[in-house]
Amino acid sequence: MSLALCKSVTEILGLWHEYRTLIFTAIALAAVLYKCLGSLRTLLHREIQSIGAATSAQKLNGIVVDSKPTLKLADKVLEYTEVVESKLDAPRVKAKVEPKRVSGKKKGSPIGVGKSARRITKPQNEKDLESDIQICIFYASLTGSTSSYVEKFKNDLFSDKEGIYPKLSIPTPSNSLSGIVPSRNILPPQLFNLEEIELDDYFISLPAPSEGKNVKYIYIVVVPSYETDSPVAAFLDHLQETYHDFRIDSAPLSPLAGFSVFGFGDSSEWPESEGKFCQDAVQVDKWLGKLSGGRAGSRRLSPLGMGDMNPASSADRQGTATANFREWRIHLEDSMQEYFETGEMSAGADLRGAVESGDEDSDVDVAENETEKDMIDLEDLGTMINRNPTIKKSSVPAKVYLPVDFTTPAGKIALEAGEGQSPLRKDMVPKDSVTYKALTKQGYAIVGSHSGVKICRWTKSALRGRGSCYKYSFYGIRSHLCMETTPSLSCSNKCVFCWRHGTNPVGTTWRWKVDPPEEIFKGVVEGHYRKIKMMKGVPGVRADRFSEAFRIRHCALSLVGEPIFYPYINEFLALLHGSQISSFLVCNAQHPAQLRALGPVTQLYVSIDASNKESLKKIDKPLHRDFWERFQECLDILREKRNKQRTVFRLTLVKGFNLEDEVKGYADLVQRALPGFVEIKGVTYCGTSSAGEAGLTMGNVPFWEEVQTFVEALNTELNARGLDYGMAAEHQHSCCALLASRRFHINGKWHTLINYERFFELLKEGREFGPEEYVGEPTPEWANWGNGGFNPEDERVYRKGKGPKKEIETESGGCG
């Protein structure tokens, strides 16, 4: 038995040894065959998918869009045409696990898949483009108007005719279908009634997408305002509590791709001047800003929009609101498009959160913010130093003057190289120079080799509905429509109170390359708009003013430097006027030849920094040895021009330098030039080293009462001499007053405003004309002497916790 067993084992072993190679080969073959079958199956699957996709794909504006995918990628489908009142059913990161009230037809929709998801080809080398995008629209409505807007909005967003999806214009690389370029989905927008969702699920942290999906959210919140209790109040409480809850991350909404808020309200009964118009939307915008990053960089995609249901503002009640809504929507879609294309928020991201609310109420807080600091005007810096004695002078950059060339003769330098433009001429502000760095750090955009543009703090203030500069009160210039620029960054003075901090080049003659006026014009306009665009994420910026700001109406040629120094200033002015942009040109009374040759400007200023030679030398530190003669010649030229254009003296009062005992001296100068207007403002202390050297301290800044006394004294002196001037207007806010010739006192009222349209018409007529021909409406009563000069329509900002009595004073004067 055992022998037989041994025999059969030996036989089996023999068989194994004989066939083992065959067996191994068969096993290996089977394995290879199995693998091949698997690959073939995958291949076939892909082929079917691509056929399906190709048949359903539509090309809209260069974007490949899956309109009706034949192969569903998910078993759950979201109907985007209905108002979705469902919650996202995926597990959340931090949300309380509580049942939610759900109404409506819920079909379930894991984020990241949906039958209507649109596919957008992904631009290469961009970050943050791996994720899909989900737009969530939150709203509340008591009487139904908000809900009707948002429902239409949601459907429009996705529609081919009006929506943002078809508008996307990302270049479609030819290889997008081959799978080489990955794609992302823009998911159908979802609409949520704030009353019907669990707020924790969306506003303590973001909904978690379904497994394996990466989703970026855009939150759009549209709410009415109710002075009484309303669902929005509960929502606001929630946002506020979340922010203050120490257990929750202080910026739980920072993973948002972005947010934007629109409010409906009625300004007839809840006026803006009382801070009531759209008050709830303002608060929602503020808290979302904080929760999404605050100072570190909130995710605001576009400025807060406000729709006015005021029946008086339009024939039909909703006319204005609809226009407001459309305007806001355009900016929002613009920003979303930018985000979709680049995966990033626009250049404005740097500024986002610069002045997060709460902080927004205090300019001092603004100054504390590093990001905003670079954007603050030098004028502001003066004010901040003025207001805050703890800011040391040493924080101000040291002066960096370029060498002065006294030998090169002045003259009109040809633009074409070889035609007088010496190849040896250098850039006035070379890109690698200290001057360039200093100016760009201060917020200037340097255009070409010698021009600059920046937006002033008043433009920013007006964008936020907080008042324009004194030029609005005196001349009707709305600050958010105003561009501040200069075609010459160089100047021939080194004034002690100059807020340029000595960073601009100085010289007595033009010795640099000359850029053509067309290039400068194009460059400064583009630079201005770029800077306006950067304001879109700043809290409080109003959508309507933001839109308007993209049509410059006024140009203040009064930034750093001396504009009439530029050899082609007249050509540059013609370009401004040709684009219906008014010109306010300020010169320093040191270039009589250029002043004489100057063509028409809307308003021509001469800076009068002192009333006598000694004072002028001490204050302006002019480079010209014959500065006093030049100054006086300029006054004579101004007198000649007074019947051809509006001429203005700009007096800057410096206590201890040019204020006391100089009334008679100033009256002499007025008598000599007979300007149409005399603007008088208190100096702003800017703390430069040159100011320090001249012994200028904050004690030299006059109080408003001192400015008032001076204005009255000068007015009395002028009238005593038989000169027909009067006290026309004031802007206490910037410590500025206006004396005007009685040529502008018509029918018992001051008419200091300008009819800009008429000015352009007169220019077109091509004949000589006088300033009386483009006089505007009467000066508003609130701006008249003694009435303060604050536009009642603007929001008044008070220092935090100090109440209405301690109004924040901003820098005096603004430009010029």
Residues binding ligand SF4 (CB under 6 A): 456, 458-459, 469, 471, 477, 479, 482, 484, 556, 814-815
User: Which candidate, 321, 94, 119, places its Cα nearest to that of 206?
Assistant: 94
CA–CA distances in Å: residue 473 to residues 558, 754, 798: 19, 11, 20
Rounded CA separation 161/31 (Å): 55
- How many CA atoms lie less than 13 Å away from 12 in the CB half-sphere? 6
Q: Which residues pair with 647 in a beta bridge?
A: 604
Q: Which does 471 bind (CB under 5 to 8 A by kind): ligand FMN, ligand SF4, none?
A: ligand SF4
Angle 534-540-544 (CA atoms, 0-180°, nearest 5)?
Answer: 75
Q: Which does 484 bind (CB under 5 to 8 A by kind): ligand FMN, ligand SF4, none?
A: ligand SF4
Q: Which does 815 bind (CB under 5 to 8 A by kind): ligand SF4, ligand FMN, none?
A: ligand SF4
Neighbours of 163 (CB within 10 A): 19
Nearest to ligand FMN of 325, 785 (CB atom): 325
- Using rule CB under 6 A, residue 265 touches ligand FMN: yes
Please name the residues in contact with 416: beta carbons below 8 A apart, sequence gap of 6 or more: none
* Residue from 192, 264, 339, 685 in contact with ligand FMN (CB under 6 A): 264
Nearest to ligand FMN of 225, 504 (CB atom): 225
Q: Which does 469 bind (CB under 5 to 8 A by kind): ligand FMN, ligand SF4, none?
A: ligand SF4
* Residue from 8, 42, 125, 143 in contact with ligand FMN (CB under 6 A): 143
Nearest to ligand FMN of 230, 582 (CB atom): 230
Q: Supply 608's token pair.
A: 């009068």
The sheet with strand 603-608 has its strands ordered as: 445-447, 451-454, 482-486, 554-557, 582-587, 603-608, 646-653, 677-682, 736-741, 725-731
Contact between residue 303 and residue 275 where contact means Cβ atoms under 8 Å apart: no
Contact between residue 487 and residue 572 where contact means Cβ atoms under 8 Å apart: yes
Contact between residue 669 and residue 608 where contact means Cβ atoms under 8 Å apart: yes
Q: Which does 125 bind (CB under 5 to 8 A by kind): ligand SF4, ligand FMN, none?
A: none
Q: Which does 435 bind (CB under 5 to 8 A by kind): ligand SF4, ligand FMN, none?
A: none
Rounded CA separation 498/132 (Å): 52
* Residue from 185, 225, 583, 734 in contact with ligand FMN (CB under 6 A): 225
Nearest to ligand SF4 of 399, 480 (CB atom): 480
Q: Which does 292 bind (CB under 5 to 8 A by kind): ligand FMN, ligand SF4, none?
A: none
CB of 239: closest distance to ligand FMN in angstroms? 18
* Residue from 110, 114, 188, 224 in contact with ligand FMN (CB under 6 A): 224
Q: Which does 606 bind (CB under 5 to 8 A by kind): ligand FMN, ligand SF4, none?
A: none
Angle 151-156-162 (CA atoms, 0-180°, nearest 5)?
Answer: 160
- Using rule CB under 6 A, residue 276 touches ligand FMN: yes
- How many CA atoms lie less than 13 Å away from 718 in the CB half-sphere? 26
CA–CA distances in Å: residue 739 to residues 218, 589, 637, 663, 814: 53, 20, 20, 14, 18
* Sole residue written with tokens 């033009």: 510
> By beta-carbon distance, which residue lies closest to ligand SF4?
814
* Residue from 116, 141, 324, 645 in contact with ligand FMN (CB under 6 A): 141
CB of 595: closest distance to ligand SF4 in angstroms? 21
Task: For residue 420, give the 3-state DSSP assignment.
Answer: coil
Contact between residue 470 and residue 648 where contact means Cβ atoms under 8 Å apart: no
CB of 153: closest distance to ligand FMN in angstroms? 13
Q: Which does 279 bind (CB under 5 to 8 A by kind): ligand SF4, ligand FMN, none?
A: ligand FMN
Site for ligand FMN in 610-649 (CB under 6 A): none
Helix axes 627-641, 613-620, angle to 10 degrees: 100
Q: Which does 219 bind (CB under 5 to 8 A by kind): ligand FMN, ligand SF4, none?
A: none
The helix or strand, by DSSP H or E, that contains position 21, with its residue range, turns out to be helix 2-56
* Residue from 270, 474, 565, 572 in contact with ligand FMN (CB under 6 A): 270
Instruction: Mark the segment that binds ligand FMN (CB under 6 A) among 264-272, 400-408, 591-599, 647-655.
Output: 264-272
- Using rule CB under 6 A, residue 145 touches ligand FMN: yes
Nearest to ligand FMN of 268, 422 (CB atom): 268
CB of 225: closest distance to ligand FMN in angstroms? 4
Contacts with ligand FMN by CB under 6 A lie at 141-146, 224-228, 264-266, 270, 276-279, 309
